[in-house]
Every structure is written in C-alpha cells, then in structure tokens.
Structure 1
Amino acid sequence: MKVVNVFKSAMGIISLFVFNSAVHADNYLVDSEQSYLEALTKVAPGDDIVLKNGTYQNFEIKFKAQGNEQAPITLRAETKGGVVLSGQSNLSISGNHLIVSGLVFKDGFSPSGSVISYRTSKDELANNTRVTEVVIEDYSKPDKFENDYWVALYGKHNRLDHSYLAGKRNRGVTVAVRLNSAGSIENYHQIDNNYFGYRPELGSNGGETLRIGTSHYSLENSFTRVENNVFDRCNGEVEIISVKSGGNVLNGNTFIESRGTLTLRHGNGNTITNNVFLGNGVPNTGGVRVINADQEVANNVFKGLTGYRFGSGFTVMNGVPNSPQNRYHQVKNANIHHNTFIDVSHIQLAAGADEERSAPPMDSIFSNNLVIADTVPTTFSFFDDISGIEFTNNVANYSVESQIEKGFTKRSDIQASSSHNITVDGMQVGADSSVKALNKSDVGPSWYEKKVYETPFGSGNEVSVEPGVNTLFEAVAKAQDGDTLVLADGVYSEEKIVEVDKTLSVKGGANANIVILPQRSALFEISDNGSLEIEGVTLSGADAPDAAGNTFIRTKKWGMLTNYRFVMNKVKVTDLDINHSYHFFSAGARSFATLLSITNSQFDTISGHVLALNKEKDDLGIYNVEVLNLESNTFKDVEGALALIYRGGTDESTFGPKVTISKNVLTNVGLGKRNKRKASIFLHGVQKTQIRSNEFNATAPVKIEHTVGEPQTSHSGNTFVDTHDIIITDFLKEKDECSCPE
C-alpha cells in the first residue's frame, strides 16, 4: 500500500511511499486546513485522508469526493478519538461512497445550522455515505433558543452508526432525517448502534432527539431504519423520536428513563418492533404514541412508565376530520399486537379528544397483548368512542376497565418476573422472549466513556468554612463540582456576588447559628453549569444596599444554556425589606430550573416576591421551572407573592410546569400595593397543580389560570381565614369559576 503524508513544514510537503501488492491506495496524513484541502484535490477511490491527532479550532470541513462501492474514500482520525474539533467547527459531506470515522466534536458549537451535514450545499448531497464512531458532546450553541441540528441526513442510502451524541442543550433536533428534495425522499437511511445520551428538558418545543421528516413532506416515504440504538435520558420534550414520514422501521432500540414518547406524528405505514422502554418509575417516562394510518406496533416491551396524556406509556390519538397536513390525521388500521406492558401507569385511547380532534380511531386492532400490573396499577383511559379499536386475545393480571373487558382474559397468577409472554389456547400473548434491553456498553464507540450528567448534591468533598468577610465567596471559588461547604457558627458578610457555576451545597450543622448577610444586590447568582443546595442557615437582607429591586438569589439575568436545580431545607429568611421589591429568588429570562424545592423553612418580612418565575412573556410555550415543590414552610409578612409562574402559548410539547404546595402556613402574603397579580400564588399555564393542607391567613387569594393542554388542578385540606378560596380561571372553557375541593 502506498502512503502519502501531507503536512506543512519548513520543507514543504513530505511524501512517504510504501507499497502493498494487494491494494493500491493512498493515505494522506494532514494536520491543517490547508493540507487537508491539498489532499482533497488528490484523493481517488480507496484513499484515506487521515487527520493527525490533535485539537483543531474553527475547522469547517467540506468533504466532497467520489468513491465507489468497492473502494470508498475515507476521512478518519489518525487514532479513533484522537482528533478533537473545537471552537466553531463542523463537517459537511457530499459525493458518493464516503466514510467518516473517529472524530470528536466538543468544546464549541457549529457556526452553521448543523454539526454534521450529509450535504455541502442545497444541490450537493451525500449518497451511500457512512459516518461511524463519531462523538458530538456538549456542542451546543450558546443561545439556548438558537436552532441547529447535530446531524442532518440528506441524500440516499446513508448510514449513521456506533456514534455518541449527548448533552445537546439548545433548540433543534439532535438527528434529523431531511426529506426536502427529490434526492432525499425514499432514502433508505440506516441509523444504528448509536448512543443517544442525556438531553435535558428544553422547556419548549424543539427538543426532539430524532426526527424523520417534517409535516410538509409527511406524506412521502422515507424508508429509514432506526435499529439497535440506546436512548438514555433523552428528555428534551414530549417527542423523543418524531416520525413525520412513511415506511420507516424502528426496531430493537432501548429507551432508558427517557421522558417522552416515540411518536408517530405524521406519515403512514411505519413499523415499531422489538423495542424496550424502561421508565424505572421516573416521572413522564413514556412509550409509543400512535397517529395516522397503517401503523404497526408489535413485540415491544414497556416497563415502569409513569407518563400520562401525550406522554403516556401507550397512546392512541384522536384525529382532526379532513386534517390539514400539519395537524392530527385520524388513526386508521393500526395493528397493535404482541406487546408486553409491565407496571405502565397509563394507556390512553382516543387521547386529545376536543372540539378540533373529534375523529376517533377506526378499523384498528389491539390483540395478543399482555398487561401486567404488579407494583403500579395500569389505567386504561378513554376520551372518545373506541368502538373503532377491536380488542381480542389480550391478557391482564387484573380486571381491566369494563369498556374493554371482553377483549381480555384475566390471569391473576402472572407476575412481572415471569416471561414477557404466555401461551393461551395455543396462541402467544405478549412480546417474544428474545426481546431484550440493550446495555449502554453495547452501543456507541467502544473507546469513548459515557459521561455522567447532573452531578448529585453532596457527591464531592466536604470543605470547612470559617465566618468572616467574603469567606463564602472565596470558598465557592475554590470548590469543585459536587462539593459541600460546611459553615462554622458565626456571621458571613459577603461584599461580592457569589457566582455558582458548579453543583454546590452550603450547609450548617444541626443546631448551627449561622447568619449570611450580603452587601450587594444579590448573594448568589446561578450561572451555566450551576446548581445550589442550602441547608441550616439564616439568610438576612439587613446589610443589602438601599435600592429597589434587590434579589437575594438569582440566576443569570438572561440567556442560560444549562438547566439548574435549587434545593433549600431548614433555612430562615428574614429582613428582605431594605427597600421595595426585594425578592428572595428571581429567575432570569431563558433560564430553566428542572427542580426548585423549598422545605421546612421560614420566611419573614419580604418587600417583594419569594419566587419570581415569570420572565417568559412572549407566549411561545417557554417557561422557567419544570417542578416546583414547597412543603412545610411558613411565610409571614410578604408584600409580593409566594410564587409567580407564567407559561404562555398553546404549544403541547412539554410536560410542565408541575407545582406541589403542601403543609405551608401563609400569613399576610401578597397584599402589597406593587403585587400586580393581587395573588399570594399565581400560576398561569401550569399543567399539574396540587395544593393541599395549607393554612391561608389574611392573605391574597391563590389564582390559577388554565390555558393549554389538559391541566390537572387538585386541592384539599386547606384552611382559609380572612382569605378568599382558590380561584381558577379556565380559559380552555372560556369561563371563570371557583374550583371545588376533591
């Protein structure tokens, strides 16, 4: 084999020749953009362009070449994983019979609309091209709502395999199969053996991990095969995979604790087989959602899934009569058979039924399925006429709902520890025993370690901190991700705003006497990569500057890329009244808390709001918090609201917000003249609300506004003294009403 190394040096281009009698091919070893371009002009079928190991900044690679089936042209790393493309780098490919292998994209973001694109221009597409053992990790645009793809497949007969994609935080599909030209329709792509890792909640539409087609081209066939991939905690939005074309096969994939569903959103004649959905009881984990015609869902295992509504363990949707192409086509001729459901909380049929979605499923069958409810009851819910679904030869180990009981045999002896299937009257019921979950180690490049995201609180070292001036600031600056700062008794006077850019815990002892007094407009500012836990201290605003609008704890004022968590327990908050509108916690626009929890704490004398989580006012379905939990706290003399949450717009692709407020005591809360909502708690667009066993004393009312989706609001055991009952304004029904307890 002849090998040619090409790179810049004082002596110019050096060529080395080695002869191999079996194959005549050239290897071009390049170490710069210029040497790469020189090599690209010389490659012929069978040649390799080899990127020398190292880190390449701002390298936009265009790989345009023509190989053939017997002798493809390859672009590869010198050593797999040894080439890192950073800064503003990307890769676009066009031509025939090409291979890309072993590259890593990290520490930057693409300057264009994709990191890897199977085209170099609108008219120059890749065909018969393979991208394998490539890594894209944490390579997100700095603006969370700036859209891009990580991989965009165009052309025909292309493959993406054994690759690692994790940590996408900005809007846009991780992998998109594009059907926007004749050269990309009926493409027969293959997406297999990849690891799709952690994708955090976007808090908006546009967080799919995989999309095949778009609504505009959804009546076209793609014939894409998605096989033997792992989707691990892909939580971007309600659609983990969005199928928007026809003729696709999704086979043998494993979904691990992924919040959302494999959604047959548009397109007909898709096949979903041999997949495993493992929720492990994690909230919002789902399975498959069926829409459109001629869909087959067979031989899958669904286990420990908790999701409901559009994100439930299994959903068959209602459609829109004579639906426009971008809405919901009626389910017709769905064949749902030989699946196993184990501890799946919700199976929903004719879901989404409303004035628009009024066409129930028709000509469909639900047969030979096994439903096992051992540790969690399974509920079948019906939202419209289900006579268009025939139930036959199914088995459950409990008494199913009366509407479908004729299609089920009850076998109370069956347990989840049994096989995924049983035999009844010579017929198999449930998924075949050959259906097994993939391990994470089975997929992706074997040489790349799978990263752990969301560092647990308290997982690092304990660091002792003494009282004094700026000692907390200095300790935080030195702390490592996951560390716990253990504060000694005394006064901590902070002259600087403390930036939290790591997972950090700040704690006092069981009987500690610790007071923290900021002298700036804020004590803590949570920025990208930051999460904060506080326990066992007193937070006082007595030394804050005499200015309106201070905030004790805040996020970056605008544009966080990463999600954060804030947890507080056994904390006393006092004297936030040096001037008006002194808030305790304020979230900036485009910030997103996956969890905000305050328990067993005391709040006294606050001139602003306790929690201002209402900065997203553009009504695009964006909001500031996914889960809010307030339990066993006291709030006294708060001029603003205890909590303001705003989630505007009508988009239905997210789960939250979810709010639980229980066992709190509110006294004189929300009655200040600057509290524009005139509410102690104001929730707009929240999807799930529980308000239980609270005491409201001489306090502004709780106001809840239903605006989108199928909001669930429950309240019970609350007492109201000199306080109006909870008020619900139901914009979905276009009327105002006061809700009644459960």
Structure 2
Amino acid sequence: MRLFKDYLLNLCLALILLPVSVTALATEYFVASKDDYKAIASKLVAGDKIILKNAVWTDFEIVLEGQGRADAPITLTAETKGQVILSGLSNLRLAGQYLHVSGLVFKNGYTPSSAVIEFRKNSKELAFHSRVTEVVIDNYNNPDKEESDYWVALYGQHNRLDHSHFVGKRNRGVTIAVRLNSESSQQNHHQLDHNYFGYRPTFGSNGGETLRIGTSHYSLTDSYTLVENNYFEHTNGEVEIISIKSGKNTLRGNVFFEARGTLTLRHGNGNIVEQNIFFGNGVDHTGGIRVINKDQVVRNNYLQGLKGYRFGSGFTVLNGVPNSSINRYHQVENALIVNNSFIDVDHIHLAAGSDAERTAVPINSVMKDNLIINTNKQQPFSLFDDVSGIKLSGNLANTVVPEALAYGVKHQELVLEKAENGLLYPAIDKLSAGAKRDLKVLAKQDTGVNWYPKLPAVTAFDSGQTHRVEKGAEALLAAIKNAGEGDVIVLANGLYEISTLVKIDKTLTLKAAQQGQAKLTFERSTLFEIHDGGSLKLEGLTISGAQSPDSAGNTVVRTQKWGMVENYRFVMLNSHVLQLDINHTFDFFATGKGAFADELTLMGNTFENVTGDILRLNTEIEDLGIYNAEYVTLKDNTFNNVQGAVVKLYRGGTDESTFGPLLLMTNNTLNKVGYGSRNKNKSSLHLHGVQIADILQNTLVNSAPITVEHTVGEPVTVIKGNLFDATPAPSVTELRVDGPHTAVVDDNKTVNTEKR
C-alpha cells in the first residue's frame, strides 16, 4: 500500500513539473467591434487567434502584441480573407514574438502614423519572428502627396512579408522599407517573398522607390534580407525601383515587368543579385541593374527589351567619389558580373556618372561569361571613363564592341530560340555564356493573393461605352455626370454654353460628331477642372473664351489648384481654340501645385489670340527636383498671336532620381508667339531642367526665341530642322557645368533676322 502511495505522489510531482501545453490554453476570439478588440488586446498569449468580423472598419489602429511561439503563434486574421476592409485612418502595428497577420485589406484612407503596417509598436518594442501574409494595400494614400509614409516598415529580426498585394502608392515614401536604425533591427534576416507589386505611378521627384533596404546612414551595416520571388509590374515611381542601402542582402528570382527604373545597389557591400528576370518589352526607361560599392555579385540574371539609359540603363557600373562620404557614391571594387543574358538591351553603361566629383573608376572587378545580343545590331556599350579595372573574359556579343572591351568580348553571330521557360537562348546549347537554361520564370498569378484582382494600371481613353449628346449644355453636363470610366461622349453639331465649372474625375473623351461643328463656350474662369481620378481627351471641338469673365487668370483647362495625389492625362486632337483674350494672362492649360501629368498631348490643333500661355507647367519653383509633367507632346499644331509661351516647363534642383520631363515638339507653326509684356521669360518655349527635348521641324515666325536651361542629369536636347523667320536663334544655357552647352543645334534655317 505504501509503495502505491509513493507511486501516486511521484506521479503527481512529475505532472506538476511537466511543461504545460500553451496551445491547450489558447483562445479563439471572434471580434465584432473596436471595443471588443481593445478588451482582449492586452491579454493575448501564445496560440491565441483573433478573427475580425467581415466589415468595413473605419479609423481602426490595430496593435497586435504578445509572446507567441514558433509552434503556437498569436494570430490575427479575417473572417473571410478580403472582406475585412480597413479604411479611414487605420494602421497595423506588431510587437513581440511569433505574431501572424493575414487576410486584411487597406483601402479608402491612409495611415495616421508613419506606416500602414509596422513591425514595431514604438522605437523600443519591436517584432521578431513574425509574419504578415495575404494582405492587400490598395491606393491607401495620404491626400497630401508630399507627406511621406511607408506602406510596410520592417523592424526587428527574422520577420516575413509574403504573398501580399501592393498597388497604387502615390504619395511620397517608399512602398516597403527595411529599417536598420537600431542594433536589434540589423543583421535581421527578414524575408520578402511572393509579393505582387503593382502599378506605382511616376512620382515626379525623389521618394518613389518601391523597396528600400537600409538608408545611407546605416549603409555599412549588414542586413541579410532575402528578397525572393516577387513580381514588380509597372513600378514606375522613380529611377530606383529597389534601392539597396545595406550589405549582405540577396535578391533572387524576382520578375520586373515593364517597370521603369532599376534594381540599384546604391549603398552597402557584398550583396547578391541572381536569377532575376527583367522584361522591358520596349517600354521607355525600363532598366535593369545598377552597381555601386564593394563585393557585389550579379550573376545568372536575364534582361530583355530594356530601353533605359544612363542611371536607368539595362546595366550600369557607376563611377565613385574618392574618399566618399557615406551618402554619396563609393567606388566599385571587386564586383563579379557573370553569366547574365542581355537580350535587346539598348544600353550597358560602364564608369557611368563620371564627372568632376565622380572620378573613382571601377577597380578589381570581373565581367565574364555574359551574353550580349541585340537583334537591331546596335552595340550597347558606353564607356564614360577608364574601365581597365573591369577585367573581361568569355563574353559573347553579336555586335562589335568598343576597342577597350574587345579583348574580353568575342564577336559571334548567334541564332536565339525560345526555351520551355519562355526565355531566349542561343541555338547552340553548349555555350558557357549567358544565363543558365534552368532559370525559372515566376508567374504573376503565383504572387500576391488569389482573391483580389490584379487590374490594369490605368483606364485607356475610348475603352468604355459611347454616348451621343444631341444638343445643349444641360444634356452634355448630364452625360458627363453619368459616364463611366473610359466612356466617349459624342457631341452633335451646335453651341454648348457652359455656365458651371465642369469637374473631371474619371477617364473621359469629349468628341465632336463632325470636326469643328460642336462649339463650347464657358462663363466661369475655367471650363474643365481635372480632379483625382480624372483624365480628359478632347477631339474635334471648337472652344471659345469669348463668354468667360472679364478678369485676369482665366483658363480653359486646369487641374485642382492644390491637393491632387493621383496622376492624370490630358490629350487634345484636331480642335480649334480661340478668343482667350478677354483679359490678360488667359492660359489654355494651367497646372496646380503638386499635380502631375503622365501625358500632355496636343496634336493637330489651332490656337488663336491667347493672352497667356498654352501649357503652363512651372509651379514647382522650390528647386527640390519636383516637376509637373512627364511626357509633353506638341505635334502639327498652329499657334497664332499667343502673348505667352507655347510651353513653360520647369524642373529645378540637383536630384537625379527621375527620368523626366520629356518634351517632343515637332512640325508646329508659331506666328507672333511670346512677345506679351507679362511673359517674363521673353520666350516662345521655355524649358528649365528638362531631361529630354526634341524640337524638330517647327516654323517660328515673328516669335520670341526658344530658351533652354540645362541643369543636372546630362540632359539631351536636340533642336534640328527648324525655320526661324524673323525669330532669334535658340538660346541654350548650362547652369550646372562649365563650358559650352551640350545641345545639338543643327540644320536649322534663319531668315529675316529683324523682327517684322
């Protein structure tokens, strides 16, 4: 009996000393209100699961904190993935260990803090071994475009962001930031995988990166972040799609689809870039990889159809600054560039950025066994300085490369064939040059979530339904109000007297049924005002300012005066604009501050009697690298008696992270343009800081000169084949560098040098 009692006592003691299963104590909470969540938020333990009720949750600032375990994380999820919508001023913060979040959607609002999702509660309480998966952030933007925030900020260590969907970041700030601003966030071993990064529109200044790992201040610190199997589609924010500013990161298996910009090794050493796919498909400014700093490895990548140049080229090795400060450009040293395929890549730039400051050429580097094939037979290499510090061997090209590289690049005609993975390889399969044949191409549908659509970036003009307006302003205004995205409104012949400001907040086309026979007049200071979500196309119309107010500063079209966060487009074709002369400074088109146009196009139009400018795009005068329009096109137009300029386009500052502005002006006729007393620039066309300007085959009669002011970015200006009749020759000035201007001014004809 005593033995049995001892046995029971020992058994009880053993049970007391055994570790208790945390999972057995876990609780599942179904949360239907913010108060419900607040009641449980402070008592969560390992294994607990919070389920948020399907609903639109407004102004919900979620803090998920606690100590989970690897086998029993604390979980926050949606009742149904995709049906828990966080809107208004909402965000999510995680702090603790082993926290998992999934199934949420952020839309119709913006974060009240520095990030939509933060892997920290505050600067002291961070997240470790935590995961955010299957989360959507869709156009969740601060209405002040210049107010900076992140969509996701990773702190702590060993965290994962995966299978999530990010689209439409429009205000300043990196979409995803890995922060290294404390020891507990360094050497973090974070993992970012299988995410879908959709359209990020051109931002129009620095601050539009999609992913940044580190900052210049901590760039000599190692991060050990893995960026693997993500899809970047139309991530066009600025020249750096991915900005690496730390060491020992790996970027592997990612796809860049028609993305304007590059994967940039901006700061930090010892990063690996491998097995990534770049499909440019001939889209302007699509780039590849830019190399700076020490010990970078770029291997087994496939790049095809890339059009970018200079810092945004298909492949760039940059010059550095001797004894560089931590935030400038460190010399390229010990780079290994091996087994990459460059197929129809327009530009490979070596020692790029060479200038009076960046004089440290690449050293102790290797470029071997790369395949360089351009089907147009244009060789892609540009050498901007001494490249003897890059040793070449085993490279193959189908073009004759510069003499300084010929020793290490064999010229060989090769036929390419499409392999099972969809990539192009030489028909000769035993070549050692180029990307490996077993390279896997990530499919878009294998990234993000399967319950949220991956929609086109923008609505195309004329892609919706067609509506006919028979007569009268009232019918036209009703048609505009009721139209859907991409719709076309066809105006019957007649007069449309508009007495109210017409707000454009959708993609819309107004088109005359018979060219020139639908006439619009307006009684407000502006006829059309473009708002967020709006893009406008006008075709075949006659627009008169004769009924506008007798006051200065009228416009036919303008954007919101302030507060726009979404990019827009404006196109006008084959139209006639007249009598913009009721008072002075009557512009045809004027941009508001902060507004940004992806496209402004005028083709086949006639403008007569205008006291202001045709396109006034010069509101960003603080010289911070901000500007108002990316592509500006004027073709086959006639401008008669315009007191201002046909275009005033301004981009100030020294920032080099953007592509534009870009101007094409061809086959236009200017007669008596630019001599108004209020035209302070005294020019018919005034460009400041424009990056690319092609001014071709125009006729200027009795007009003020074309004036161009070059700033930073090695601008490319071509003024060619123009006729200047009683018009001064163009003026091109270099404002940032000494010496003669770099513009090509050629094959122009000047007659009647005196003003008539």
Corresponding residue of 1:5: none
* Residue number among 520, 523, 533 corresponding to 1:519 in the alignment: 523
Q: Is the 8 A contact 2:207 2:238 kept in 1?
A: yes
Corresponding residue of 2:746: 741
Q: Residues 612-627 of structure 1 correspond to what in structure 2 (within 5 A)?
A: 612-627=616-631
Corresponding residue of 1:377: 378
Q: Is the 8 A contact 2:416 2:424 kept in 1?
A: no
Q: Residues 243-262 of structure 1 correspond to what in structure 2 (within 5 A)?
A: 243-262=244-263
Q: Is the 8 A contact 1:422 1:428 kept in 2?
A: no
What SS does the corresponding residue of 2:687 show, helix, strand or coil?
strand
Shift of 1:549: 0.9
Shift of 1:416: 5.9
* Residue number among 727, 732, 755 corresponding to 1:728 in the alignment: 732
Q: Give the whole-Å Cα distance in 1 for the aligned partners of 2:206 and 2:628.
A: 14
Question: Computing the radius of gyration over CA atoms, which structure comes out larger, 1 or 2?
Answer: 2
Corresponding residue of 1:25: 26
What SS does the corresponding residue of 1:119 show, helix, strand or coil?
coil
Q: Is the 8 A contact 2:418 2:425 kept in 1?
A: no
Q: Give the whole-Å Cα distance in 2 for the aligned partners of 1:222 and 1:21.
A: 33
Q: Is the 8 A contact 1:473 1:497 kept in 2?
A: no
Farther off after superposition, 392-401 or 638-647:
392-401
Closer/same/farther in 2, CA of residues 581 and 688 from structure 1, 3 Å limit: same
* Residue number among 658, 662, 674 corresponding to 1:658 in the alignment: 662
* Residue number among 589, 594, 597 corresponding to 1:590 in the alignment: 594
Paired residue total? 723
Q: Give the whole-Å Cα distance in 1 for the aligned partners of 2:213 and 2:521.
A: 54
Corresponding residue of 1:101: 102
| 2:365 counterpart of 1:364 | yes
Corresponding residue of 1:410: 411
Q: Is the 8 A contact 1:420 1:432 kept in 2?
A: no
* Residue number among 708, 716, 719 corresponding to 1:712 in the alignment: 716
Q: Give the whole-Å Cα distance in 2 for the aligned partners of 1:159 and 1:534.
A: 48
Q: Is the 8 A contact 2:249 2:271 kept in 1?
A: yes
Shift of 1:427: 5.6
Q: Residues 443-522 of structure 1 correspond to what in structure 2 (within 5 A)?
A: 443-522=447-526
Q: Is the 8 A contact 2:44 2:65 kept in 1?
A: no
Q: Give the whole-Å Cα distance in 1 for the aligned partners of 2:740 and 2:619.
A: 25
What SS does the corresponding residue of 1:475 show, helix, strand or coil?
helix
Corresponding residue of 2:43: 42
Amino acid at match of 1:69: A
Farther off after superposition, 541-550 or 236-245:
541-550
Corresponding residue of 2:61: 60
Closer/same/farther in 2, CA of residues 376 and 118 from structure 1, 3 Å limit: farther
Closer/same/farther in 2, CA of residues 596 and 121 from structure 1, 3 Å limit: same
What SS does the corresponding residue of 1:740 show, helix, strand or coil?
strand
Normalised to the residue count of structure 1, the TM-score between the two structures is: 0.95
Normalised to the residue count of structure 2, the TM-score between the two structures is: 0.94
Q: Give the whole-Å Cα distance in 1 for the aligned partners of 2:355 and 2:471.
A: 60
Corresponding residue of 1:226: 227
Q: Give the whole-Å Cα distance in 2 for the aligned partners of 1:616 and 1:138.
A: 24
Q: Give the whole-Å Cα distance in 2 for the aligned partners of 1:318 and 1:539.
A: 53
Q: Give the whole-Å Cα distance in 2 for the aligned partners of 1:513 and 1:469.
A: 15
Deviations 1:67-120 (A, max 9, x none): 111211111111111211111000000000110111111111000100000000
Closer/same/farther in 2, CA of residues 642 and 376 from structure 1, 3 Å limit: farther
| 2:677 counterpart of 1:673 | yes
| 2:571 counterpart of 1:570 | no
Corresponding residue of 1:695: 699
Farther off after superposition, 197-206 or 398-407:
398-407
Q: Give the whole-Å Cα distance in 2 for the aligned partners of 1:633 and 1:447.
A: 48
Shift of 1:421: 4.6
Q: Give the whole-Å Cα distance in 2 for the aligned partners of 1:734 and 1:287.
A: 31
Shift of 1:437: 2.8
Shift of 1:370: 0.5
Corresponding residue of 1:14: none
Corresponding residue of 2:158: 157
What SS does the corresponding residue of 1:405 show, helix, strand or coil?
helix
Deviations 1:109-147 (A, max 9, x none): 000100000000100000000000001101010000100
Amino acid at match of 1:741: D
Q: Give the whole-Å Cα distance in 2 for the aligned partners of 1:41 and 1:522.
A: 55
Q: Is the 8 A contact 2:417 2:427 kept in 1?
A: no
Q: Is the 8 A contact 2:720 2:744 kept in 1?
A: no
Corresponding residue of 1:546: 550
Farther off after superposition, 99-108 or 506-515:
506-515
Q: Is the 8 A contact 2:377 2:399 kept in 1?
A: no
Shift of 1:448: 1.4
Shift of 1:420: 4.5
Q: Is the 8 A contact 2:493 2:514 kept in 1?
A: no
Amino acid at match of 2:82: G
| 2:78 counterpart of 1:77 | yes
Q: Give the whole-Å Cα distance in 2 for the aligned partners of 1:725 and 1:42.
A: 77
Q: Is the 8 A contact 1:421 1:429 kept in 2?
A: no
Q: Is the 8 A contact 2:416 2:425 kept in 1?
A: no
Closer/same/farther in 2, CA of residues 612 and 22 from structure 1, 3 Å limit: closer
Farther off after superposition, 27-36 or 343-352:
27-36
Closer/same/farther in 2, CA of residues 54 and 425 from structure 1, 3 Å limit: closer
What SS does the corresponding residue of 1:289 show, helix, strand or coil?
strand
Corresponding residue of 1:291: 292
**Runs of at least 5 residues in structure 2 that lack an aligned partner in the other structure:** 1-20, 748-756
Q: Is the 8 A contact 1:118 1:153 kept in 2?
A: yes
Q: Is the 8 A contact 1:546 1:578 kept in 2?
A: yes
Corresponding residue of 1:682: 686
What SS does the corresponding residue of 1:452 show, helix, strand or coil?
coil
Amino acid at match of 1:342: I
Shift of 1:426: 6.2
Farther off after superposition, 681-690 or 447-456:
447-456
Shift of 1:411: 2.0
| Aligned alpha-carbon RMSD (Å) | 1.7
Corresponding residue of 2:269: 268
Q: Give the whole-Å Cα distance in 1 for the aligned partners of 2:227 and 2:22.
A: 39
Q: Give the whole-Å Cα distance in 2 for the aligned partners of 1:551 and 1:254.
A: 44
Amino acid at match of 1:508: A
What SS does the corresponding residue of 2:445 show, helix, strand or coil?
helix
| 2:641 counterpart of 1:640 | no
Q: Give the whole-Å Cα distance in 2 for the aligned partners of 1:285 and 1:582.
A: 38
Q: Residues 283-362 of structure 1 correspond to what in structure 2 (within 5 A)?
A: 283-362=284-363
Q: Is the 8 A contact 2:22 2:46 kept in 1?
A: no
Deviations 1:268-299 (A, max 9, x none): 00000000001111101000000000000000
Percent of aligned pairs sharing the same letter: 53
Q: Give the whole-Å Cα distance in 2 for the aligned partners of 1:332 and 1:467.
A: 71
**Runs of at least 5 residues in structure 1 that lack an aligned partner in the other structure:** 1-19
Corresponding residue of 2:187: 186
Amino acid at match of 1:546: D
Shift of 1:53: 1.2
Amino acid at match of 1:579: N
Deviations 1:200-230 (A, max 9, x none): 0110100000000000000000000000000
Closer/same/farther in 2, CA of residues 412 and 468 from structure 1, 3 Å limit: same
Shift of 1:39: 2.1
Closer/same/farther in 2, CA of residues 362 and 416 from structure 1, 3 Å limit: farther
Shift of 1:739: 5.9
Amino acid at match of 2:103: G
Shift of 1:425: 11
Q: Is the 8 A contact 1:421 1:428 kept in 2?
A: no
| 2:207 counterpart of 1:241 | no
Q: Give the whole-Å Cα distance in 1 for the aligned partners of 2:128 and 2:551.
A: 63
Q: Is the 8 A contact 1:471 1:494 kept in 2?
A: no
Q: Give the whole-Å Cα distance in 1 for the aligned partners of 2:389 and 2:35.
A: 64
What SS does the corresponding residue of 1:429 show, helix, strand or coil?
coil
What SS does the corresponding residue of 1:235 show, helix, strand or coil?
coil
